[in-house]
Amino acid sequence: MAKVSLQNVSKFYTGSKKSKVTAVSNLTLEINHGEFMVLVGPSGCGKTTTLRMIAGLEEIDGGSIHMDDTKVNDLEPKDRDVAMVFQNYALYPHMSVLENISLGLKLRKFPKPEIAQRVEEASVMLGIQDLLNRMPDQLSGGQRQRVAVGRALVRRPKVFLFDEPLSNLDARMRIQMRMELTELHRKLGSTMIYVTHDQAEAMTMGDRIMVMNNGSLQQVAPPLTIYRKPVNQFVASFIGSPPMNLLKLHSVKITDQAHLPGTDSVGILRLPGEVVIGENVHHVIGFRPEQGHLLEEDELLTHDSSKTLLIKGSIQWLEPTGADIFVHVLAGPHKIIIRETSEMQWKVGQQVIIKVPEEELLFF
């Protein structure tokens, strides 16, 4: 296990017509000994490039990378003691599972008994002892994935790098492998850097999550901090499903609060006292679907709502998920999603009031 530090790391590619593509820009980050760091972000944001630079498969154009106290900028991949698991598994089709797993050790001239012992240990850990003599095309996707992990595992590297390893698996298998990899991390205590664009995977697996966009680091924090205290609108809308509700306040006209309810107007009825809207203030209010509550219009009078955001709108669409229901509400220019329990009988077209406690609101 090792600590990995990136300081102002940048990577540029040459795009079409010799234009410069910034793949990663000034990335500064420290990944601790034994940490499970999840790297998330939309397609093209620089996740794979970041991993490849750490692995040494890609030269860096600026900054430095350290593993523990050693600067590795100029070290060959084989001298960095990292192992990478790719999205497409990259197994050799003409080699058996056993040969695939042991190849890296053979090339490094490990003695045979040592190789046998490591393969045995890894295959027990991954539950693939019975598959060692099969060829890759005789395996299911999940089994191939385990073999790819096994190949990394036997190397006992200081750092494991995973690039979207589960994206070719079906939903059920992904959840299974997610648990297995988390368990593996717990057993090994190795430093792992795990790329995904699946935010649910990020939330459940990471000790910390780093969110990237357009080659830049947006936020790095434990999952719940990222969920509850996103530093900007990008993080707020990228993490969470459905995403956080974001209301642009510069387009808000607040209706006469004295005439609640029964007013015909739709939109934001009341903002909590602390929110001041000036002419040119482009504030954005955010809240998660589960932080809002729906009231039927005439319920409002019975609630004390001086410390709440109140929004009036009509139900546009209902999205039942089983345990809960996502209620899509249109309120003036704002589209808002509220998570409610299924028993409530909401109907499309119904007029409702959304109530959000002041302390749940975020401002951007």
Ligand X SMILES: Nc1ncnc2c1ncn2[C@@H]1O[C@H](COP(=O)(O)OP(=O)(O)OP(=O)(O)O)[C@@H](O)[C@H]1O
- Residues in contact with Mg ion by the rule CB under 5 A: 48
If the CB atoms of residues 87 and 96 are measured against ligand X, the closer one turns out to be: 87
CA gap 62, 71 in Å, rounded: 13
If the CB atoms of residues 131 and 161 are measured against Mg ion, the closer one turns out to be: 161
Query: Residue 240 Cβ, how far from Mg ion at the closest point, in Å?
Result: 22
Neighbours of 255 (CB within 10 A): 19
Angle at 344 between CA 340 and CA 348, to 5 degrees: 85
Query: Residue 58 Cβ, how far from ligand X at the closest point, in Å?
Result: 8
The yes or no reply on residue 127 touching ligand X (CB under 6 A) is no
Listing from the earlier edge strand, what are the strands of the sheet with 70-71?
A: 20-31, 4-14, 62-67, 70-71
Which listed range, 43-51, 202-210, 224-232, 262-270, lies at the site for ligand X (CB under 6 A)? 43-51
If the CB atoms of residues 6 and 45 are measured against ligand X, the closer one turns out to be: 45
Q: Which does 305 bind (CB under 5 to 8 A by kind): Mg ion, ligand X, none?
A: none
CA gap 299, 308 in Å, rounded: 15
Query: Residue 12 Cβ, how far from ligand X at the closest point, in Å?
Result: 9
Instruction: Answer positive or negative: Cα dihedral of 117, 123, 124, 129.
Output: negative
The only residue of 44, 127, 320, 333 in contact with ligand X, by rule CB under 6 A: 44
CA gap 362, 360 in Å, rounded: 7
Neighbours of 28 (CB within 10 A): 12
Number of residues engaging ligand X in binding (CB under 6 A): 13
Query: Residue 23 Cβ, how far from ligand X at the closest point, in Å?
Result: 3
Site for ligand X in 13-32 (CB under 6 A): 13, 15, 21, 23
The yes or no reply on residue 43 touching ligand X (CB under 6 A) is yes
Residue pair 353/335 in contact (Cβ under 8 Å)? The answer is: no
Which listed range, 46-54, 142-150, 295-303, 316-324, lies at the site for ligand X (CB under 6 A)? 46-54
The only residue of 25, 46, 174, 194 in contact with ligand X, by rule CB under 6 A: 46
If the CB atoms of residues 163 and 340 are measured against Mg ion, the closer one turns out to be: 163
User: 198 is written with which tokens?
Assistant: 């699946």
If the CB atoms of residues 48 and 123 are measured against Mg ion, the closer one turns out to be: 48
CA gap 69, 63 in Å, rounded: 15
Helix (H, G, I), strand (E, B) or coil at 54: helix
Helix (H, G, I), strand (E, B) or coil at 308: strand
Residues that bind ligand X (CB under 6 A): 13, 15, 21, 23, 41, 43-49, 197
